[in-house]
Structure 1
């Protein structure tokens, strides 16, 4: 009959043809190497959200594409990862350890670092009368140019130095980190002091001396911060801070100002030198776990790896300085609250960065699809960035209300400050993703554009800052959203 299904004799109408089964591999055949690898990595593959996560593991094990083609007969690590991902059933077991994993950190420690970042600003308040004099050729207060030049060189150098020391610490070689700081901090201080002297021009010698002291402090403070001695640095800065606060409401003799500045600087330098000085006897050996010496000496961090971090330090330093210079160049004196608020916010910014990384790790463990993971990480970025902006806004309003003779923020300046906060926090997040080059390029372009606008007297500095910060913030936010959904960015 036309359209009827032919069946073999004896078959019933309600019986479907049997589906042929795949032949089992003969016992004498060589085992499939991909099946063996899947069995060995079963737990990891079963919990993977995306094949790229498996590819990252394969690459971290040192498998090259040539080895993969020879052993497993596939093109590269990504093809092998996709094959493994298909062969192992998805399982998402609950983690044995805490969800935050290695990104758990205390809020108090981060807040302490924010305070330590802000306290050196009181040194400029205490030393301002020592730098009194006529404005220079750039219409800036006396001594501003050597101070700014020394600060920028110091920030650039010490950002790169800190990265190198942290790299040694990551390799477990605390002794090498100490040696890097012991050599690098004095070199950076000398370089910054020489640059300040070179651009001093007709500035008073006191300004050059202040810039040299600033350079020495930056080097010693970097050593203490890298080695985790925030509390010691805070204790060293407290007398100078108290003197600066008193000077805001009462007259303080110049001799007392100088004594407080030199006293705090001396204590910081002594503490920093003691922290990085070579350990005698067996102390140096205790800095290095067993088996670390040979590994770190052969695969130590390259100097070139610290260059992007140094450029990032220069760019962010220029952007922050423009926040203060915008007020000075327009004849206003309201920059101190903004600078203090931005510096204090770096503590909460660091804590929220840790919270994002721990949140993304939790999302990686709980998400079952790449789309779900991307959605989770983007929401976490929005939450953490919003929390940081609320914190920065609160600090800005509080410092403006408490600062003497402050007239508060207008809408343009406040918007520019918040956008700069977006730039700084997303740049730190990109650094944690390993995209420091991208963050450095965007921040350097923003810093260059704002500097050119100031030097050429193009537009109002506050409007220029709003446009530049907004453009950089949008570019970095888009890059963060693109990278945050990639599993391999969260390794």
Structure 2
């Protein structure tokens, strides 16, 4: 019969077993808590460049390792971050408006700073008679010994002082920065003069006076540069620089050249004193010692909250980096003298090229920082970001070396009695340029210990070579230092967390 149901013999409809209910899903089919977490944090995970960013978010949300092991079955936050990173495709967010670039800077401003760095070198042209004298064992005039000692002391001290003052500025306390410079700059000038005095030997007293003036200038210029007064420094040096530039064509007599030197020095010192003078109105030298030294209360606005200032030990690696790089630059200048058949204390076109290149070097550092931000937004994986960072390092470094090469060739062509720019010397200069620029790059990211270690090791090796009269192996030292420091820069800066 249509619509009937067959039943076994003797069976009644009410005796049939009930239709079984649908079974629940087994426990292994329950939603994965890691997937649920990935869904909840999908936007953040998709925008992350490295699992460490996700781990930082998990830790900031208060997820302990014990909770992670119980809930998600993985060892810790880093293991969970790697699992989340693997489950979500990369999808960098597109900004609605153009993202502001905090590292965009003016090329003209950087070039002005480069000129300001180089102009003091022209003072050696006017002061050359004070530095003359019989050559020492290395063939250098006796007057250059106190000059070099004072310069190295000043560079070391003022590099550390600059970092400490910039640290106060970074904390928003401009008054504490002024106090730090108010005490630190005179202390550096005294130390530089004492270093020159300790190695004066048979040098003319005029050389000691010149070295002392150089120490005063380094301290005063540090004040102006840290406080952003490059143009003031430029204007103060212009009369002396013009006279020095005209010396090869129209010799300047001593009654004119020495007042020009003293006038420029006095102008720079007065400008620096005016810059830090506001700090004298508030506790003066006592507060300056507090800002320079780590002990005592934090100055300025934070003083009322009972905080402490930046620790002094943090500035030590910067001072050592100044010492190491300063020694390498001075050896580049000495190499010009030793190779050129001249005992002139100012025959240093390599040092001039390096100093002038600091302006373009600074601009390229900003370009790298800007490019790294673009890489963070445009790359989808950690490997892609590392590749983009390495390419950016290569591009900026190549640009810097091109500028340094052009400056070196120009300086060698224009410099009086300049030694011939041979292949080995040019190679050594370019390798030294790699060391200097990558060191500045690491310094700008706070990786100063590696840069200071490499530069100081290279400076020590160069010193040993100079003492043993082994000058031809300098490019080898520069090459090793350049390779180590470039690899260090690519390794450290290839991590996304280094750019945050």
* 1:298 match: secondary structure: coil
Question: C-alpha distance in 1, partners of 2:26/2:249?
Answer: 91
Is 2:168–2:310's contact at 8 Å kept on the other side of the alignment?
yes
Distance 2:115 2:54 in 1: 41
Counterpart pick for 1:363 among 375, 388, 406: 375
| Structure 1 CA distance for aligned equivalents of residues 404 and 306 of structure 2 | 42
Aligned counterpart, 1:287? none
What is the deviation of 1:454? 0.6
TM-score (norm 1): 0.85
State the superposition RMSD in angstroms. 3.2
For the pair 1:347 / 2:356, whether they are aligned, the reply is no
Please show how residues 260-339 of structure 1 align to structure 2 within 5 Å: 260-278=260-278, 293=302, 298-330=307-339, 332-333=341-342, 335-339=347-351
Offset at residue 297 of structure 1 (A): 6.0
Alignment counterpart, residue 431 of structure 1, candidates 432, 443, 447 = 443
For residues 244-263 of structure 1, what are the structure 2 equivalents within 5 Å?
244-263=244-263
- Equivalences for residues 25-44 of structure 1 within 5 A: 44=44
2:127 is aligned to: 127
- The answer as to whether partners of 1:38 and 1:45 remain within 8 angstroms in 2 is no
Please, which moves more after superposition, 320-329 or 75-84? 75-84
- Write the deviation string for residues 278-307 of structure 1: whole angstroms up to 9, x where unpaired: 25889x9xxxxxx96269962521100010
Q: Distance in 2 between matches of 1:349 and 1:45?
A: 36
The answer to whether the 8 Å contact 2:90/2:381 transfers is no
* 1:402 maps onto 2:414 in alignment: yes
Note the C-alpha offset of 1:131.
2.8
Is structure 2 residue 488 aligned with structure 1 residue 479?
A: yes
For 1:58 and 1:244, how far apart are their aligned partners in 2?
62
**Aligned residue in 2 for 1:10:** none
Cα deviation for residue 446 of structure 1 reads 0.6
**451, 476, 483: which one pairs with 1:467?**
476
Q: Deviation per CA, 1:54-97, whole angstroms, max 9, x where unpaired?
A: 345677x6x89xx7336655765534543664676643112356
Deviation at 1:252, TM superposition (A): 1.1
Partner of 1:288: none
The structure number with the bigger radius of gyration is 2
Equivalent residues, number: 456
Q: For residues 465-488 of structure 1, what are the alpha-carbon distances to aligned partners after superposition, in whole Å with 9 as ceiling and x for unaligned?
A: 211111111111111222232111
How far apart, in 2, do the equivalents of 1:205 and 1:134 lie? 14
Indicate the residue corresponding to 1:238 in structure 2: 238
Match in the other structure for 1:180: 180
How far is 1:43 from its partner?
5.2
Partner SS for 2:473? helix
Segment of structure 1 superposing worse, 193-202 or 70-79: 70-79
Deviations 1:110-168 (A, max 9, x none): 11111100000000111102333322454311311100000000000000011111111
| Partner secondary structure for residue 389 of structure 2 | helix
Tell me if the contact between 1:146 and 1:196 (Cα under 8 Å) persists in the aligned partners. yes
Q: Which runs of 4+ in 1 moved over 6 A?
A: 18-21, 32-38
Alignment CA distance shift 1:138-1:392 (3 Å): closer
Q: Distance in 2 between matches of 1:204 and 1:471?
A: 39
1:271 CA displacement: 0.8
Secondary structure class of the residue paired with 1:245 = helix
Separation (CA, whole Å) in 1 of partners of 2:42 and 2:281: 47
Relative to 1, partners in 2 of residues 1:362 and 1:213: Cα closer, same or farther, differing over 3 Å? Answer: same
In structure 2, how many angstroms separate the alpha carbons of the residues matched to 1:379 and 1:255? 55
5 Å-filtered alignment, 1:46-125, equals 46-55=46-55, 68-69=64-65, 77-79=77-79, 81-82=81-82, 85=85, 90-96=90-96, 98-99=98-99, 101-125=101-125
Gaps of 5+ in 1: 1-17, 26-31, 285-290
TM-score (norm 2): 0.83
In 1, Cα distance between equivalents of 2:259 and 2:97? 51
Deviates more, 1:99-108 or 1:144-153: 99-108
